[in-house]
Amino acid sequence: MIGGKLFRNGEEFYPQREDESFEEWYKYLENSYFIKAKENA
Assigned domain for 16 exists: yes
Number of Cβ atoms within 10 Å of the Cβ of 29? 16
Assigned domain for 23 exists: yes
Are 29 and 15 a contacting pair, CB within 8 Å? no
Pairwise pLDDT comparison (21 vs 9), residue with the higher score: 21
- Between CA 30 and CA 27 the distance in angstroms is 5
- Between CA 10 and CA 14 the distance in angstroms is 13
Assigned domain for 2 exists: no
Assigned domain for 22 exists: yes
**Residue pLDDT, tens place only, 16-41:** 788 988 898 888 877 776 676 677 77
Report the chain's terminal Cα–Cα distance, integer Å.
17
| Domain total in the chain | 1
Q: What distance separates the 2 farthest-apart alpha carbons in the chain?
A: 33
Its domain, for residue 22, covers 7-40
- pLDDT, residue 22, reads 85
* pLDDT, average across residues 3-21: 77
Assigned domain for 18 exists: yes
Assigned domain for 1 exists: no
pTM of the model: 0.51
